[in-house]
Structure formats: C-alpha cells, structure tokens
Structure 1
Amino acid sequence: MRAVHVRVPASTANLGSGFDALGLALGLYDEVTVEAAESGLDVQVRGEGAGQVPLTEEHLLVRAIRAVDGAPDGLIVRCRNAIPHSRGLGSSAATVVAGVAAGYALTEKTLDDRALQLAAEFEGHADNAAASLLGGLVLAWSEGEKGQCYRAVRLEPHADLHAMVFIPAIESSTKTTRGLLPAQVPHVDAAFAAGRAALAVHAVTKDPGLLLPATEDRLHQGYREPAWPDTIRVVEELRAAGFPATVSGAGPTVFTLVSGDREVPPAVDLTGFDAHRLEIDRDGVQVRPIG
C-alpha cells in the first residue's frame, strides 16, 4: 500500500470521575493522507495547528509513523485538522493514533494491541488514545511493575446519548494542569472516585439517568480550577441545571452528555465559550487505501 487516507476522532477523557481511566470518542475529526516516497519528507497542515506545528521530523504524526517497524523512509503528509489544539479534546492523541494507523497500513499490518501501546507511549496514559483508536467508551489501564504496558477495553455507549462541548478561546497545557494536582489525596476521596467511576461505566452504557452523580469528581477538577476558573464556573452552572457536565480532559473545554434535543437554559452563562453538539464516534480511527 503506497498511500492511505486516515480519519481519526477527537476524544474526551476522565468523564469527571474516571481520572486517567475513562475516555469517549467524539464525532469531530482530523483527516490525513500519507503517501510513501523513496526519500525525503513533505508535510502540509491546514486547519487547526496550521502555522504552529512543526513541518519536520518533529511533527507528532511523523514521529508516530516512524514508531511503526518498517515504515517507509520517505513520506508525503497532508493534514486537515478540525480538532482544536490544547483544549482537552485529545488532539495530540488523535494525531498519534492517525500516525500509528497510517504506519500500520503502509506496512500492511492489522491494527492490534501493539498499536495502542505505541500510541499511549507518547503521552504516558491510554485514555484518549484508546478512544480515538477504538471508538465508543473505553476503560484504560496500565500493567507491569513500572506501569508501562497499556491496555484498554471498548464498551458501547447508550444509543440515546450524544455530546455537547463548550470550547473557550484560551488554551491549556496538560503538563501545567497536572502540576496543580497533589501528590496524595484523602482516602475518602479515593473511595468516592472509585465508586463514581464504576457508576459512570454503567451510566454511559446502560442508564444515562445516573450520569449526574456518576460524573462527580474529587480527584482533579477542583485542584485545577486556578488554571481556568471560567471552565469550573460553567461546569457548576450546568450541573446545577441538571447536566452531567465535566472538564474535558486537561481542559479548558467543558463536556456534557445529553439525550434527545435538550438545550442549555439561558441562565447558564456561556460567554466566551463556543457550543458544539457532537455525536459519539462509535468506529474509532478509519483507514482506507488511496489509488
């Protein structure tokens, strides 16, 4: 296979209570074409990240392709990005998954558990990467003495659910917001998180009526409030109105799941946030040959 087209979904991680464990694929996509060449590298980017991301071997997608054994020496890469960068919608994970998927296709391999391992190694956890790779709801974890073997299982979200995201203009760094988290949390908070994360799996897949309590968090959102106070304000206002709102990943985007055509009441102040209604992506990364 000499050239492939890859479509990869955005994702949200944590879903409030499932910190570093739960991820959900969203119907917002980056699209990439990758062509093998004898030598050299030619990268072009349109849309999100254009003029900001490197067009060299340091481009994240190129690095991900190179991580696949047997990947071609020469590459012609064309990116059309719709996933906002540094907003908590898994743009980095989507880029890595697209690169791994392209590398697998160009070397005539079938995506497997090793693909998740390669993708997750770039960020050190598998929640966003697994969601973009597998689609639907994912439960991710790590194994081994050093926790560097990444695993995930895919679960089917309830058919009635779709997502709403509220994206601010400001950006957020995962590295920065992780630095706000304490090294230890009270045992009572850890027990609370375990119960609510388990409930979140049930709520997303079987009983959306339980989403509001299932998405309550005590492990990360409150500690990160100094980084984006308006995000936490919108989360709290939405939750007060009965929406199971959370911070999407490392923020600053706000995420909620809804059923039907339910709309946000005017009392919720969304000034500075762009609202988008998205389907849940249920297919994960898609690859097709070109020519």
Structure 2
Amino acid sequence: MRAPSTSANLGAGFDVVAVAHDAYVAEAYVKVGSGCGVEVRFRGFDPGGDNTVVRAFRRFFELTGVCRGVEVEVVNHIPVARGLGSSGASAVAALAGFIREAGVRVDPRLVVEAAGFGEAAAAGSPHFDNVAGAALGGAVVLTSLSPVDFVKFTPRLTFVVGVPDVPPMPNKTKMMREVLPREVEFRTYVRQISRVASLVAGFALSDPRLVARGMEDEVVEAARAPLVPGYHRARRYALEAGALGFALSGAGPSVIALVLDRDADAVKSAVARAYAEEGLRAEVKVAAVAEGALSQT
C-alpha cells in the first residue's frame, strides 16, 4: 500500500489544510494473522519502538473494535523531518494496507483520527492535516477537530517542491510551534480568514490564482521563515520565475510553490539556483496532486 507525501498549511491554512502530491511516497507491506497486536519494521530508518505506526494501530483498534495480529514493514521514500508528512504517510499506508488485507470496512474519519493520534509520537501532540491528505488524496480541509471531520477537493494543480539538505532540527515540530505568536491583532485575524476562504474556494473551483492568494501568511510563516535555511531567496527566485504562490511545506524546511504548467520548469530551476547560491544541496521536483492511500482499498 502506498501513501503520498503531503504539504500541510499551504500558507494560511495552519493545521486545517493539506494537499497530497506525488513528489514522494511511503509504502507499507502488511500481513494479517491471528491474535491481536502489531509488529512494525522500518526499512532504512528506525524511529524506535514507540512510533507513529504503532500508536496509530493502537488507536485504530480502540476506535473500531477490530483487532488482529498485524505485521508491517514500512519503506518510506519521503524525506524524514522535512515537512512532507513522512510520519503520517507511514501510518496511513500501514492502516490502509491492513484494511485491505483484513477485508474490513471502516469510516475514513476513523482512519484519519487514528493516524493523527499516532502523529503524537513524532510531533508531541496529535494533528490531522497531513494524515487526512495522505489518506484521502487531493486537497483536504478539516472542518472539525473534535470530532474529526473534513472535506476533500480534487483540484488540478501543479507544484514545485524544494527539499534542502540541512541537518535535522531536534524536536523540530515542537520548536516550530513554540515560536508562533500567542496573540494576533483582529485586523490580521480577518485577513487570515479571507486567505483561508480563498484556499477553499480555489480548491473547489480548481483555480490556482485563488489558491495562491491563500498561500500568503503573515502569522505562522512570518514566525517560522527566519529559522528555515534558504527560504527567503527560494521564495524570491520562485516568484520572479513565475510562481503564483509560495509557502513552507508544513513546518519546513521544505517549500512548495504553486505554478502554472508552462512555468514549472523555470520555477524548478530558479528554486534549485536559490539553494545553490545559499550553499545548500537540495532536491527540487515538479509535482501534481495525488490520490490517497484509501483510494486503493
């Protein structure tokens, strides 16, 4: 079973918006047997015994009342700790593989809730944006966090994803949340609402220019950008090359630019050049909106 990489927030949609794309993928190979419990192996990367997949299964068993003996091998091709939803995609791919192999029918909201609960192993607290994107595909907007609920859109959008090769930041997600402002002026709040509305409208209408308006963010991204190597130069070069919008992918350090197809290669080259001038190695890809893992069950 495969789950796609995701970019959460996409600018103003902090913790409630994510888009799934085909830049990278996580794979999970699942065997279902007798008993009740889960054993997980990671090929090429060891997050430890208390990981997102184990926690996600435990929560899934609690929510559904379905418990089997499960063996999972995860092969994650999504760069770890780069803001591309690697931990969430691992859990989603594993849960989707179990659902298919066990032949059970499950409300997708329970899959998202279980996988989001598993994210606490990597991020310190549950969150549901990346896992919703990985599970459902397309662009996902969370409409409720308790209980978890969402709306999925299937916009036709093209992105350039830049992944700088920088040392992993210890406790990155926790630290990136700690730098966020505790108070926001009312006028700023209103502007942010208008941007989130633009994101949703752009997804619904498959209108990249509306989505681009929503990728402006003067609250979360303004606080995080100074901590992200190469961000400002990559943003400037991408917009100069024709990108419609530009944002951190999740908590970074990866970035995502929204482009028209005709400008994709130029923006890709511009972002690569920006990182090179910063003295950073980087992988830069053109990506399209992807299907989610649950579409394969």
TM-score bracket, shorter-length normalisation: 0.7 to 0.9
SS in 2 for 1:264: helix
Q: Which residue of 1 aligns with 2:112?
A: 116
Q: Which residue of 2 aligns with 1:281?
A: 290
Give the CA deviation at 1:283: 4.1
Give the CA deviation at 1:97: 1.5
The answer (yes or no) to whether the contact 1:65–1:102 under 8 Å persists in 2 is: no
Q: 1:115 to 1:251 in 2, by over 3 A?
A: same
Q: Which residue of 1 aligns with 2:216?
A: 216
Q: Which residue of 1 aligns with 2:8?
A: 13
RMSD of aligned residue pairs (Cα, Å): 2.4
Alpha-carbon distance in 1 for matches of 2:67, 2:38: 13
SS in 1 for 2:223: coil
Alpha-carbon distance in 2 for matches of 1:267, 1:155: 29
Name the count of aligned residue pairs. 271
Q: Which residue of 2 aligns with 1:33?
A: 29
Q: Which residue of 2 aligns with 1:235?
A: 235
Query: Which residue of the other structure, out of 47, 52, 73, is the alignment partner of 1:53?
Result: 47
Alpha-carbon distance in 1 for matches of 2:72, 2:210: 44
Alpha-carbon distance in 2 for matches of 1:252, 1:196: 22
Give the CA deviation at 1:287: 4.3
Pick which of 207-216 and 21-30 moved more.
Answer: 207-216
Higher share in helix: 2
Give the CA deviation at 1:253: 0.3
Unaligned 5+ residue runs, structure 1?
Answer: 1-5
Q: 1:163 to 1:267 in 2, by over 3 A?
A: closer
Query: Which residue of the other structure, out of 73, 78, 85, is the alignment partner of 1:83?
Result: 78
Q: Which residue of 2 aligns with 1:23?
A: 18
Q: Which residue of 2 aligns with 1:3?
A: none
Paired letter, 2:80: H
Paired letter, 2:99: Y
TM-score, normalised to structure 1, is 0.83
SS in 2 for 1:93: helix
Q: 1:43 to 1:20 in 2, by over 3 A?
A: closer
SS in 2 for 1:277: strand
Paired letter, 1:255: I
Paired letter, 2:288: E
Alpha-carbon distance in 2 for matches of 1:246, 1:51: 28
Q: Which residue of 1 aligns with 2:187?
A: 188
Paired letter, 1:247: L
Unaligned 5+ residue runs, structure 2?
Answer: 120-125
SS in 2 for 1:64: helix
Give the CA deviation at 1:155: 0.9
The answer (yes or no) to whether the contact 2:212–2:258 under 8 Å persists in 1 is: no
Give the CA deviation at 1:286: 4.7
Q: Which residue of 2 aligns with 1:270?
A: 275
Pick which of 11-20 and 92-101 moved more.
Answer: 92-101
